[in-house]
Structure 1
Amino acid sequence: MPRYRLDIEYDGTPYAGWQRQAGQHSVQAALEQAILKFSGETISLRGAGRTDSGVHATGQVAHLDLAKHWPDDTVRDAINAHLRLAGESVAVTAAAKIADDFDARFSATKRYYLYRILNRRAHPALEKDRAWWVPARLDAEAMHEAAQQLVGRHDFTTFRSSQCQANSPLRTLDKLEVTRSGDLIEVKTSARSFLHNQVRSMVGTLKRVGEGGWTAADVKAALDARDRAACAGIAPPEGLYLTKVDYSAI
């Protein structure tokens, strides 16, 4: 039974997140339905990251097993054909046979996220549902300086959802960078894994710094508090993108 890796992009706006949920439309369910239409097989697709409702992806990865050997391009094109027919905002950018022991979630060695803030007085026309609109001027340099307080291995209890199901709040944050280009502020971060709502919680806190309400020392104090109530805020989902997943020996 051949295993295939899928590289996937999607607009998360119309979906209740990646994960299949009863009575809700999800990215996983949309893909599984397209795969059923193409192959006649009911499969369970495993993704690298369980993105929330409204969160986008340019580099999601998933794997599936099929009973029949198909050419890689056929898998990609056939799934996409059925996604288009169904009017889904999802596309498979690549499909490839992969080793049987590859697991899109558990084989991942690093995940990369991007958060986009449109920082201008005018509301977004083209960027609606693609970035967080913040009309008040933010200090991106101060945000970047404060972000460095979060890099490294820490207890991120302050920056995870109260509904997070991870066994431990300990995570190693490899990078957290804030840059500005014109009206657009980008927050880029990477780690082996993230807690539920960790990125959005960090961005919401850094926004407080950018507004001048907090300093880098306040961010460090919030981290050290290990208390969800110490988080300065949570950014909305529409600015968040899963951009890349790394795997060893691939």
Structure 2
Amino acid sequence: MANKTASKSKKEVGFLGKTYLLAYNGAQVAGWSYILYLMGQYYTADPKPQQSLWEIVRTALIIFQNAAVLEVFHAIFGLVSSNAMVTLFQVASRVMVVCGVLIGVEGAADSQGLHFLLFAWTVTEIIRYSFYAMGILGVSIYPIVWCRYTFFIALYPIGVTGELLCLWAASQLVGASKQWTLTFPNSWNATFNYQYFLVIVMALYVPLFPQMYLHMFGQRKKVLGGGASKKNN
């Protein structure tokens, strides 16, 4: 009886969870598609827009990228099968770039890295969230599955390159302006150098990127190489 009750409770939570996740993933597909649309307008406009690419996508990017923080809680509360720590690292790196670099350091968004990371992020996220929504609906569209486990081969390095370029640009600007840098003497009796912090963040890509990249290759082999696993990654 206890097992039946637990199973019923799990089923009810599953229904509510799936409804929420479907809405979340659908909103993310729409949001990232809108960002891609804005990028298309920027690159094809004639004459060239007076606003920079960052000024055009800023609001939408802040909303939809930072909304990904919810995915850490999705993993923690078991709404998805993803590893919470892996999800945290993935989300934290992007939130750091958006909030700590593009928003936080004036002029960092002028880096060419912005163009690289926006292209990689938008295409990746449209495919990824479409894949997740498809899984929630219980359908399988092979082109989406194939794109999900193939496009990352090029997009992941492109996105990481863009992120590192923006981080580097920010570190140079902070080094000159001493922004968010605390030196002695001060009432806090502490010191903090934001330029060093950005350098440390860049250094973390060295051990973390290969792990995440190889993880995706492992998932690709399982899904496209004959494996049955199609878990939400």
Length-normalised TM-score, structure 2: 0.22
More helix by share: 2
Higher RCO, 1 vs 2 (CA within 8 Å, ≥6 residues apart): 1
Larger Rg: 2
More strand by share: 1
